[in-house]
Amino acid sequence: MSIGFLALLDDVAAIAKVAAASLDDVVTQAAKAGVKAAGVVIDDAAVTPRYLLGFAASRELPIVGKIAAGSLRNKLLVLLPATLALSYFLPWMITPLLTIGGIYLCYEGVEKVLEAIMPHQAHAHEAQVGTIALNPQTTEDEKVASAIKTDFILSAEIMAIVLASVSDEGILMQALVLALVGIGITVAVYGVVALIVKADDVGVALAKHDDGSAAGRMSRAVGRALVLGMPGFLTFLGAVGTAAMIWVGGAIFVHGLEAFGVHSVGQAIAAAAEAAAHMLPSAAGLVKWTVIAALSGVVGLAIGAVSIPIVGFALAPVWKLLKAAVWRHHS
C-alpha cells in the first residue's frame, strides 16, 4: 500500500513538473508576443483617456471599469476564439477584416479632427448618423460603446500580432498565450489609464500635505503641479490618442494593400523613411519610425476623409432602414 502511494506521489510530482514547464513556456511565449504588440498597446493606452474628457471626476473610474470589462470580453469571448477559428479554417479572411477595422479607426479619428476644427459640420454628421446624445446617461453609454468599439479594433490587431508570433505552436498553446496576453494587456492598459485620470486627485491630496518639512514642501509643489498640469496633459493625450487612431488605421490599411498585392504605397513610405534616416544616422531608428507614422497618418487622414461622406450618405441611411425594419418586426 505504502509503495503504491509513494509511486502515486512520484507520478503527481512528475505531472506537476511538466505542468510547471508548460506554464513557463506559456509565460515566455506570452512575454515575447506582448513585446511584439507593444506599439499597438501604447496606442491603445493613448486613445482611451480622450473618452473621459468632459465627465465628472466621480464617473472617471466607473467609465474606465466599463471600458476595461468590455475590452476583456472582446478579447477572451470574441477575438480569441474568432482569431483561432479564422486562422485554421478561413485564414484569408483575417487581412480583409483587419483592413476594414483600420478603415474604421481612420473614420473615427478623422471624425474627431472634424469635431475639433469644424464643430458645426461634425454636429451635422453626428445627426446624420444618429449619434447625438440626449442626456448624460446616454452620453456616457455612447462614449463607453465608442471606446469599446475602438478597443475592439486595436485588440484585434494585437491578437493577430500575438497569433503570428506563436503560429508554429499547437492550438492549446496558442489559446493560452492569447488569453494570457489579452488579460495582461487589458490590466496594464486600463491600470495606466486609471492612474492617469486620477492623478489630479493624487495631486490634491499631496497639495494638502503640510507638516512644515522640506519633504512636505516638495509634496505640496508636486501636488500643485499635478493639479495644474493634468487638465492640459489629458487634452494633449486626447490629441495623441486621435492621432494614434489615424496613423494605426492608416498603417493597417497600407499593410492590407500589400497583402492584396498593392505594394507601391508601402514601398513609398518605406523609401521615404529610409531616406530620412540616412540624413540623420545618429537617430535613425526614431526618424524612421516618425516618418512611417506621419505618412501612415496622411494615408489615414485620406481614408477617413473619404469614409465620412460614405458613412453619412450611404451606410447610415441603410443602417437606419435596417434598424427600423427590425423594430417593426419586433413591435
Angle in degrees, CA 137, 151, 139, rounded to 5 = 15
**pLDDT score for 64:** 87
Angle, to 10 degrees, between the axis of helix 214-259 and the axis of helix 284-310?
70
Task: Kindly tell me if the per-residue pLDDT of 4 is higher than 50.
Answer: no
Task: Kindly tell me if the per-residue pLDDT of 227 is higher than 50.
Answer: yes
Global pTM reads 0.71
**pLDDT score for 41:** 57
Q: How far is CA 97 from the centre of its chain?
A: 16
**pLDDT score for 80:** 92
**pLDDT score for 299:** 95
Comparison of pLDDT for 7 and 182, the residue scoring more: 182
> How many whole angstroms separate alpha carbon 98 and alpha carbon 79?
12
Comparing 58-72, 102-116, 221-235, which segment has the lowest mean pLDDT? 221-235
Task: Kindly tell me if the per-residue pLDDT of 50 is higher than 70.
Answer: no
Comparing 57-61, 88-92, 152-156, 316-320, which segment has the lowest mean pLDDT? 316-320
DSSP state string for 218-260: HHHHHHHHHHHHHHHHHHHHHHHHHHHHHHHHHHHHHHHHHHT
Task: Kindly tell me if the per-residue pLDDT of 267 is higher than 90.
Answer: yes
**pLDDT score for 320:** 66
**pLDDT score for 132:** 47
Angle, to 10 degrees, between the axis of helix 171-197 and the axis of helix 2-36?
60
Contacts of 247 (CB under 8 A, 6+ apart): 293, 294, 296, 297, 300
> How many whole angstroms separate alpha carbon 267 and alpha carbon 210?
59
Task: Kindly tell me if the per-residue pLDDT of 159 is higher than 90.
Answer: no
Percentage of the chain beyond pLDDT 90 is 15
Mean pLDDT of 8-22: 44
Q: What is the mean pLDDT of the chain?
A: 76
Model confidence at 303, in pLDDT bands (50, 70, 90)?
A: very high
Q: Are 278 and 95 in contact (CB under 8 A)?
A: no
How many residues are given for the chain?
Answer: 331
Q: Are 159 and 76 in contact (CB under 8 A)?
A: no
Give me 199's grid cell: 492623478
Which range has highest mean pLDDT (50-64, 142-156, 307-321)?
142-156
> How many whole angstroms separate alpha carbon 53 and alpha carbon 63?
11
Model confidence at 42, in pLDDT bands (50, 70, 90)?
A: low
Model confidence at 242, in pLDDT bands (50, 70, 90)?
A: confident
Nearest to 250 by CA among 180, 185, 308, 298: 298
Q: Are 220 and 203 in contact (CB under 8 A)?
A: no
Give me 70's grid cell: 468590455
